[in-house]
Amino acid sequence: MICAGIDSGSRTLKVVLLEADGQAIVASGVVDQGVDQDALAVELLEKLLAQSGLRRGDVGAVIATGYGRKLIRIADAAVTEVTCQGWGVRRRVPEARTVIDIGGQDSKLLRLRPDGSVADFVMNDRCAAGTGRFLEVLATRLAVKLACLGTLADRSRRPATISNMCVVFAETEIIGLLASGVAPEDIVAGVQASIATRVAAMAGRNLPGPVLFTGGVALVPGMNAALESALDRPVIVAPQPQLTCALGAAILAAERLKRLRPPPS
């Protein structure tokens, strides 16, 4: 028997399959988000099961999380991404005390207790200028892939100042910088620094370490270094940072299954 965690985020949908005892990861996958999130979740789940030689009947419990969690009809329950993130981090990097999670449409900062539970959190979901969407807009404007942004930022010698807090106006500002001859690498470095500065403002002064970086933006080269500079402290990129929340959901599914299973006679 296995359990599944489904993280239906704003830009991607992630699934993690976990052994029923909540220990070993059986399979995991990520796909771009779509219109019918439930159908997309079913398709990815079925694909991972088939790759693992399993069937739907082998799935004992499913927990959904993320923006679209309430749209996942195959889930037994829906849990907030903050709770799932805490459980996933506890499994991946149990010593972490602060989590910076930057996704496609929001950024979050979690402070964890020594036992791994969430003590408090702050979220920015009102302005895309501090999220992965800002980097997508930048990559599109520069006609490069997201994976190339880090290489460009490394070449920067004079990062541009990005002053606008709104991604729409920031894009206009970027167009103006390009027209005035500012090098693309300086603009990339400036945008990454701008995102990191917004996160640092969310963090405030009380930032216990170690600090862990999760979410899709953690995969973008250069962002980790930008955060370290803005926070003036080391920042660890989580293993498979996109999957931390789905892993937490799968762990909670395993916990649910334990509660529902009758004790052995």
Instruction: Report how far residue 227's alpha carbon sits from residue 65's, in angstroms, rounded to the nearest whole number.
Output: 26
Element (H, E) at 138: helix 132-142
Q: Which pair of tokens denotes residue 134?
A: 């800002």
pLDDT value of residue 249: 97
pLDDT at 10: 81
Q: Write out the CATH class of domain 96-238.
A: alpha beta
Q: What is the model's pLDDT at position 244?
A: 96
Task: Determine the pLDDT at residue 147.
Answer: 79
Q: What confidence score (pLDDT) does residue 16 get?
A: 97
Other CB atoms within 10 Å distance of the CB of residue 7: 33
Beta-bridged to residue 234, according to DSSP, are none
* pLDDT for the residue 129: 53
In order, the DSSP letters of 1-38 are -EEEEEEE-SSEEEEEEEETTS-SEEEEEEEE--S-HH
- How would you write the pLDDT of the chain (265 residues) with one tens digit per residue? 999 999 998 889 999 999 988 789 999 999 988 888 999 999 999 999 999 999 999 999 999 999 899 999 999 999 999 999 999 999 999 999 999 998 877 888 999 998 888 999 988 755 555 677 778 888 888 888 887 888 888 888 888 888 766 666 777 888 888 888 999 999 889 888 888 888 888 887 778 889 999 998 898 888 999 999 999 999 999 999 999 999 999 999 999 998 877 655 5
Q: How open is the CA angle 85-106-83, to the nearest 5 degrees? A: 20
Could you check whether 1-93+240-265 and 96-238 share the same CATH topology?
Answer: yes
In this prediction, residue 125 carries a pLDDT of: 55
The pLDDT value recorded for residue 73 is 94
**pTM of the prediction?**
0.88
Q: For residue 42, with 0-12 CB atoms within 10 Å meaning exposed, 13-18 middle and 19 or more buried, which class applies?
A: middle
Which CATH superfamily groups domain 1-93+240-265?
ATPase, nucleotide binding domain (3.30.420.40)
Helix, strand, coil percentages (3-state) for the chain, rounded to 5, are: 45, 20, 35
Domain ranges of the chain: 1-93+240-265, 96-238
